[in-house]
Each structure stands twice: as C-alpha cells, then as structure tokens.
C-alpha cells in the first residue's frame, strides 16, 4: 500500500480538489491511502472561532459562518446537483460545531481547541471523498479518530502506538482506496485530539508504519525539499536524495516541508518518503530513504519567524550553574515552551524559544523571582546546515544580529529585522 498525504494548499479551493483527482489518475491509486489536511487556511479560521468562543462571543456566530461559507462555496462549484449527499453531510457537520459551542461546559481552552479545529480535516476529507466518487474513483472514508488513539495532551497529543497500530490494521482495507484525516486522533474518552500544527505529515507516517506501506508521498506546491524556503531566499536548489538522518535534522530545526516527527516511524521500517509537486506529479521530487547521501552538497537554510530571545542573568552576579539551568528547563517544560537555541556564560543564560501556546508572560513572572529577565519579541532564527563562508552574510543583510552560534555542521543566527 502507498500513502499519499495532501496538505491544505493542495485542497484549498475547487480547482485544487479537481487537481487531486488528476494527480491520482496520473500516478495511480490502487491499494492506496489518502491522508488529507484541512482546506487552505481553515485551521486558522477555526482558531478564530475558538478565540471568539472564549474572548468575543459577539463575533462567534459570524466566525463560524465564514468557515461554513468557504466550504459551501467550494462544494457548490464542485457539485452541480444541489441535492447531492455532500450538502446534507456538510450541514450536519456544521450543526455539530454549533451544538458543541452551545453546550460545552469545559473551560479548558486546549480541549475546546481540539474539538473545534479537528472539524477542518473532517470537512475537507468529506468533500474529497464525495468528489472522487463523482469522478469515478471509488473510495472509503475513514474517521482517523477511530484509529489513531492518543493521551489527553490536547493540541500536542502523544500517540498510543500499540492501540493505534491495532486499530489501523482493523480499519484500513489495503485492497481499497481509503481517505482519512491528518492531524487528528482521539483520547480514551473519544474526545478529539490534535498532534500539533502541521501534524498531517506525522499522521501519514503513523498510518504507513502500521500498514507497513510501500512508500509515503507528501504532495506539496513546491517541487520537493529545497535547500531554502523560496519565500525568504532566492536561487534555491532541489535536494533530490537525502538520508533519513539529514531529513530529521532539517525537520528538527524547522524545515517546513516535513513535520519533525514524521521521519522516525518511517526510518524504523525503512519506508521511503517522497516529497513531490501536486502541480507536476510526474517530476521526481525528493526521495528520503536509506542509502541516500548523508550530506547535501549545498548549504541548507531554515528560518523560524516569531521567536522569543530571552536573556537571564543572576541578580547577585553569582554563576549560573547546572542546578540553575535545570530549574529553568523545568519551567520551560511546565509552560510548554520549545527551546531552539541555548547560549550561556558565567552569569547569563540566553535562549531562543517558541511560545506557541502564549505562556511566556506566565513564565516571565516566575523567572523574575530569581533572575534579571530581558527579552526580544518577534525575532527570527536562522539555521544553516553545512554552512559555508558566505552563509552568514546571506542572512544578515539588512538585519541586526542578536545571537550567533556555530558548531561543526550547523550555524544558528538570531536576528531582528
């Protein structure tokens, strides 16, 4: 069985949904599983719904209507028969969203987030399922929440592998074309959970691992894995073959083409990963597999925006020692703040972090009890794998350097625009 993952860009409107059909007709779909994301920027739009639920009830209904209109506009373009079952099913799904918002009693933001945001994938795969049927591509719709079981760490759930593998083998018939959702699962009570933003790649890898798939293909709007994000760098180079190890390193540092957790399950069973263009499906793209070159022949640039650079120093000029650092990291863990770069001296400690749950202010109030705290918001972290003499200059033009750290393989630079 092959696993195909289609991201939000590949199903963002009616024309792109039609293109998914063309891709499948081009590359074949026998004995395949499609894992699909929410359409376009639906996740962002549903995050607005969650925000309004807690902070701005006056705009709540309108924010739901924005999401509803977006999807009904797509199905109206895809289906000429307005009595088609897809319209009934979409109405039922949006009625379910409204019902939850009216009856939920939980004050837990992360719990509510997962119950609402998970509908993005449910809706997109429902539309895709019915459209492929219209195209003559018979397929079975699978609810990933019945297969992928997790703990209750809402918004960043951990997979229960034993139960999940057993469920997937039961739910997926490898002789059919099946369609399921990325990014989502459910906990032991049956409530929806999510695997972290951009987690659909990880979902594809989980299904591939359980099914011992022949391969995983991630369909993107780029020709494959590039040595730099073309939104921020010119003259990018396609990496045609890279090793699991190098792909894991690139993903860990933030390469957006592959989710950081995707590679481990694939590597364990030596399942090759292909990153290909849904605009040109016959192109070779990038192959991530065993036996590929360990080191790309060009520097690889990765950028993370909206980072925080935090600097701590002791109030009495005492050294910041191992115990201090241990206590600081316990706080980072407690507040779910991801650490990307560390640099310390005798009496100071600097760290570049990602505050995706907006917990920094609570953390800061804890840190000021013991340290002098200074910080820069909205900084950018650049990571260069296999850097050369021109790498830093390419990054720093027009920017202010806040921190630089270099080891044998990797250079990391924090800048302010």
Binding site residues, as ranges?
5-8, 43, 121, 231
Point out the annotated binding site for substrate.
Answer: 43, 121
Point out the annotated binding site for ATP.
Answer: 5-8, 231
CB burial of 141-154 (b: ≥16 within 10 Å; e: otherwise) equals bbebbebbbbeebb
Q: Parallel, antiparallel, or unpaired for β 400-406 and 410-416? A: antiparallel
| Bridge partner list, 179 | 34, 141
Q: How far apart are CA 250 and CA 224, in angstroms?
A: 14
């Amino acid at each position: 069985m092959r696993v195909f993952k289609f991201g939000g860009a590949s199903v963002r409107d009616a024309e792109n949904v039609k293109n998914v059909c063309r891709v499948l007709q081009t590359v074949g779909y026998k004995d395949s599983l499609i894992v699909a994301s929410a359409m376009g920027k639906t996740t962002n739009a549903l995050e607005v719904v969650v925000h309004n639920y807690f902070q701005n009830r006056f705009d709540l209904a309108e924010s739901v209507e924005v999401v509803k209109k977006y999807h009904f506009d797509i199905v109206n373009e895809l289906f000429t028969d307005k009595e088609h079952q897809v319209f009934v099913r979409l109405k039922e799904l949006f009625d379910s969203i409204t019902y939850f918002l009216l009856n939920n009693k939980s004050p837990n933001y992360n719990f509510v987030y997962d119950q609402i945001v998970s509908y993005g994938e449910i809706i997109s795969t429902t539309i895709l399922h019915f459209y492929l049927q219209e195209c003559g591509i018979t397929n079975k719709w699978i609810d990933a929440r019945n297969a992928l079981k997790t703990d209750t760490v809402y918004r960043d759930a951990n997979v229960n592998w034993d139960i999940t593998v057993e469920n997937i083998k039961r739910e997926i018939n490898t002789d059919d074309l099946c369609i399921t959702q990325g990014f989502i699962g459910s906990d032991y009570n049956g409530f929806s959970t999510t695997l972290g933003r951009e987690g659909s790649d990880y979902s594809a890898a989980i299904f591939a691992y359980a099914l011992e798939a022949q391969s995983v293909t991630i369909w993107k709007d780029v020709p494959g894995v590039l040595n730099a994000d073309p939104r921020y760098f010119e003259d990018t180079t396609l990496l045609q073959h890279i090793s699991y190890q190098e792909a894991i390193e690139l993903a860990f540092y933030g390469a957006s083409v592959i989710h950081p957790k995707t590679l481990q399950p694939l590597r364990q069973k030596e399942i090759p990963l292909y990153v290909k263009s849904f605009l040109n499906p016959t192109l070779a793209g990038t192959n991530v597999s065993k036996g590929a070159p360990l080191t790309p022949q060009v520097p690889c640039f990765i950028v993370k925006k909206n980072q925080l650079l935090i600097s701590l120093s002791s109030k009495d000029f005492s050294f910041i020692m191992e115990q201090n650092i241990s206590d600081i990291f316990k706080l980072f863990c407690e507040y779910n703040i991801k650490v990307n770069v560390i640099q310390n001296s005798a009496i100071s400690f600097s760290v570049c972090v990602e505050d995706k749950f907006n917990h920094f202010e609570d953390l800061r109030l804890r840190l000021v009890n013991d340290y002098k705290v200074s910080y820069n918001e909205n900084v950018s972290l650049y990571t260069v794998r296999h850097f050369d003499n021109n790498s830093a200059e390419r990054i720093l033009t027009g920017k202010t350097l806040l921190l630089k750290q270099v080891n044998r393989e990797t250079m990391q630079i924090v800048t302010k625009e």
